[in-house]
Amino acid sequence: MTRVFMVDGNAIPVKKYGEKKTLRDMLKEAALPLIKRNSEISIDLVVVGNMAAPQFTQQNHLGAFLTTELALDGVPSLRVEAASAAGGASLYFAYRAIKSRLHRAILVVGIEKMSSTVTEEATSFMAAAADWEYEVQHGITFPGFNGILAQRYCYEFGVNPDDLLLFSVNAHKNAAKNPLAMFQKEISLEKAIKSPLVADPLRLYDCSPVSDGAAAVLLCDEETLKKTEVNRDNVVELVSSEIATDTITLHNREDPLELKAATVAAKRALKHAKITKDDINVWELHDAFSIMAVASLEALGLSEPGKAVDLAKEGEIAIDGKYPISTMGGLKARGHPVGATGIYQAYEAWLQLVQQATPQVDNPQYALTENIGGSGATVTINIFKKM
| Of 353, 105, 360, 368, residue with least CA distance to 224 | 105
Per-residue pLDDT tens for 13-68?
999 999 999 999 999 999 999 999 999 999 999 999 999 999 999 999 999 999 99
Q: For residues 38 and 102, is the Cβ–Cβ distance under 8 A? A: no
Q: What is the pTM of this model?
A: 0.97
Q: What is the mean pLDDT of residues 254-272?
A: 97
| Distance separating alpha carbons of residues 286 and 321, to the nearest angstrom | 18
Classify 352 as helix, strand or coil: helix
| Distance separating alpha carbons of residues 93 and 201, to the nearest angstrom | 37
| Distance separating alpha carbons of residues 366 and 364, to the nearest angstrom | 6
| Of 290, 376, 272, residue with least CA distance to 326 | 290
Q: For residues 106 and 2, is the Cβ–Cβ distance under 8 A? A: no
Distances in Å between the Cα of 129 and the Cα atoms of 56, 83, 207 are 14, 6, 17
| Distance separating alpha carbons of residues 41 and 330, to the nearest angstrom | 31
| Of 121, 134, 101, 146, residue with least CA distance to 4 | 101
Domains and CATH numbers, the chain: 1-387 (3.40.47.10)
Q: How confident is the model at residue 319, as a pLDDT?
A: 98
| Of 229, 7, 224, residue with least CA distance to 98 | 224
- Asked whether residue 116 carries a pLDDT value surpassing 90, the answer given is no
Per-residue pLDDT tens for 327-343?
999 999 999 999 999 99
For residue 107, which phi and psi values (nearest 5 degrees)? -90, 125
Going by pLDDT thresholds of 50, 70 and 90, the confidence category of residue 117 is confident
Q: Quick check: bond before 359 cis, omega within 30?
A: yes
Q: For residues 84 and 129, is the Cβ–Cβ distance under 8 A? A: yes
Q: How confident is the model at residue 64, as a pLDDT?
A: 95
Q: How confident is the model at residue 129, as a pLDDT?
A: 87
8, β-bridge pairs: 218
